[in-house]
């Protein structure tokens, strides 16, 4: 994941909440979403590949190279000795990945420069990943940039990479409209919603992201019955953009993409989640 284009969130993570993901669905979702990107990349012209994105000075070509790298990280990790045990879970990942952002950006640019035929690069990555899916147990521990993680947990983080950067790609190339796999969007939404509950622990505010997630967060009086006094509601893609800094809270409110009621329903201080 690259740095957010609109700034860094404040605050440190608090207590953790655990959510269970269905490994088979996550495997299928990651493969399906990468396939959507690979197919779309094959339709792009050289001018479109050289065009700008909302990610600083990244071009579309470099963005696609980054997506190849994000999935290819599985292949690279499987080539390394297995660590003794997992030390990082999927829910830790949003808070630790930013430390590697500089190196990730440099490597993405290098991959783009080394691979002039981006569709071929993506096809190779997809093929290797499909083989890994067949050959790797969910419990296999991988040594990745964020730390030692199980294969199953790492694949959950890949849904965030793919959904967020598919949205970046659609923003960079008007009319491209790469589809977003429903299961990938669901996992991405839930992981980032749970990360909000970690970053802003509490139970005074209910954040609703139908149809995928509801979390309670923010310190203050705990709500137990009836309608919560502080409620935030938005759609999944808007939430993903808020959580990763693609959209600012005030802009989403002004554009009526978020409804927020109650004195503790302003999430400005804890957004974005990933920086």
Average pLDDT over residues 49-73: 96
* Contacts for 250 with CB less than 8 Å, ≥ 6 apart: 268
Q: Are 41 and 51 in contact (CB under 8 A)?
A: no
Q: How far is residue 50's CA from residue 158's CA, in Å, rounded to a whole number? A: 25
Phi/psi of residue 17, nearest 5 degrees: -120, 140
Residue 188 has pLDDT above 80, yes or no: yes
State residue 100's pLDDT score: 74
State residue 3's pLDDT score: 54
Give the predicted TM-score (pTM) of the model: 0.93
CA neighbor of 15 nearest in space, from 217, 190, 153: 217
CA neighbor of 51 nearest in space, from 211, 185, 151, 170: 170
State residue 229's pLDDT score: 87
Dihedral angle sign, alpha carbons of residues 243, 249, 254, 256: positive
Q: What is the largest CA-CA distance in the chain?
A: 59
Which is more confident, 44 or 96?
A: 44
Of 11-25, 68-82, 115-129, 244-258, least confident by mean pLDDT is: 11-25
Q: Which residue has the tokens 């139908």?
A: 210
Confidence at 187, pLDDT banded by 50, 70, 90: very high
Mean pLDDT of the chain: 92
Confidence at 46, pLDDT banded by 50, 70, 90: very high
Phi/psi of residue 144, nearest 5 degrees: -120, 175
Residue 51 has pLDDT above 60, yes or no: yes
Partners of residue 148 on adjacent β-strands: 143
Which is more confident, 226 or 98?
A: 98
Alpha carbon of 17 to those of 70, 197, 201: distances in Å? 25, 8, 10
State residue 127's pLDDT score: 97
pLDDT digits (tens, 9 = 90+) for 207-241: 999 999 999 999 887 666 667 789 999 999 999 99
Q: How far is residue 103's CA from residue 95's CA, in Å, rounded to a whole number? A: 16
Pair of tokens at residue 61:
């070509």
Average pLDDT over residues 85-97: 93
Q: How far is residue 53's CA from residue 63's CA, in Å, rounded to a whole number? A: 8
Confidence at 13, pLDDT banded by 50, 70, 90: low
Partners of residue 143 on adjacent β-strands: 148
Instruction: Give the HSE-up count for residue 239: Cα atoms under 13 Å, Cβ half-sphere.
Output: 29
Residue 56 has pLDDT above 60, yes or no: yes
Domains and CATH numbers, the chain: 23-182 (1.20.120.450), 185-270 (3.30.1050.40)
The distance of Cα 100 from the centroid of its chain, to the nearest Å, equals 15
């Amino acid at each position: 994941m690259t740095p957010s284009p609109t700034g860094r969130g404040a605050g440190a993570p608090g207590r953790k909440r655990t959510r269970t993901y269905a490994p088979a669905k996550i495997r299928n979702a990651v493969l399906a979403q990468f396939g959507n990107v690979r197919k779309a990349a094959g339709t792009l012209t050289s001018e479109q590949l050289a065009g700008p994105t909302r990610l600083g000075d990244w071009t579309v070509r470099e963005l696609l190279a980054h997506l190849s790298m994000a999935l290819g990280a599985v292949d690279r990790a499987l080539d390394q000795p297995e660590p003794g045990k997992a030390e990082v879970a999927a829910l830790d990942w949003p808070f630790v990945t930013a430390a590697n952002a500089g190196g990730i950006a440099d490597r993405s640019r290098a991959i783009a420069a080394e691979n002039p035929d981006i569709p071929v690069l993506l096809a190779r990555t997809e093929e290797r990943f499909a083989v890994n899916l067949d050959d790797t147990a969910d419990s296999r521990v991988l040594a990745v940039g964020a730390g030692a993680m199980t294969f199953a947990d790492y694949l959950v983080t890949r849904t965030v990479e793919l959904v967020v950067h598919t949205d970046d790609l659609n923003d960079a190339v008007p009319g491209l409209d790469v589809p977003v796999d429903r299961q990938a969007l669901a996992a991405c939404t839930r992981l980032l919603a749970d990360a909000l509950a970690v970053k802003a622990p509490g139970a005074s505010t209910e954040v609703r992201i139908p149809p995928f997630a509801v979390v309670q967060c923010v310190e203050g009086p705990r709500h137990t019955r009836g309608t919560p006094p502080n409620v935030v509601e938005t759609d999944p893609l808007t939430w993903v953009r808020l959580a990763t800094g693609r959209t600012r809270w005030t802009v989403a409110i002004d554009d009526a993409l978020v409804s927020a009621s109650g004195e503790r329903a302003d999430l400005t201080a804890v957004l974005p989640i990933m920086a």
